[in-house]
Structure 1
Amino acid sequence: MQLEKHTLNNDFPEHKHTIRHLKMNDSHFAKQFDQYHDVNKEIHHIEEQNEAVSDDYLETLKKQRVILKDELFAQINATEKAL
């Protein structure tokens, strides 16, 4: 089974230029971007390898990913509105 990759560029391809700009010019965005991708990578690894972890741990990671994605998307929208 092929797992969906939840990278920001995959999920928001229409915002790739803004994402790139923010990664290069906004240290807070860059830090959250890295955190998002670390969490996403861990979730993907757990699911891909069918690794034995508690349901609570996996759910916590998924909730963290959603929160980070929401915060990043809000920053992307705010930047685009300011332009």
Structure 2
Amino acid sequence: MSHTPHELPEEFPEFADKMHELKQSDAHFVKLADEYHAINRQVHRAETNVEPMEQLAEDQLRKQRASLKDEIYGMLRA
């Protein structure tokens, strides 16, 4: 299990400029990115035992993060 934060600019460095553009022009993208960031932070805090949680809850958050990441990636590629 990785204890490395999965921040969007690190996950998609090739789309840094497009992310910046979408954050300025697309409210839906902003909502998705904010939600991803919040869930990603929760996962990271659970992984590092700053805020431990049950494994099932952590797994569910990881699934939500992956789903958001897929949707964000689709918007970046469009």
Per the TM superposition, whether the score is higher than 0.5 is yes
Q: TM-score, structure 2 length as denominator?
A: 0.91
SS at match of 2:48: helix
Q: Which moved more, 1:42-51 or 1:56-65?
A: 42-51
* 1:5 Cα deviation after fit: 1.6
* 1:72 Cα deviation after fit: 0.3
Q: Within the alignment, does 1:77 sit opposite 2:66 as a pair?
A: no
Residues of 2 paired with 1:25 and 1:59: CA distance?
A: 32
Structure 1 pair 54–71 and aligned structure 2 pair: CA distance change class (3 A): same
SS at match of 1:49: coil
Paired position in structure 2 for 1:81:
none
Pairs within 5 Å for 1:27-66: 27-49=27-49, 51-66=51-66
* 1:62 Cα deviation after fit: 0.1
Q: TM-score, structure 1 length as denominator?
A: 0.86
Provide structure 1 residue ranges, at least 5 long, that are not aligned to the other structure: 79-83
Provide structure 2 residue ranges, at least 5 long, that are not aligned to the other structure: none
Residues of 2 paired with 1:34 and 1:51: CA distance?
A: 20
Paired position in structure 2 for 1:22:
22
Structure 1 pair 52–3 and aligned structure 2 pair: CA distance change class (3 A): closer
| Count of aligned positions | 77
Percent of residue pairs bearing the same amino acid type: 35
Residues of 2 paired with 1:51 and 1:28: CA distance?
A: 29
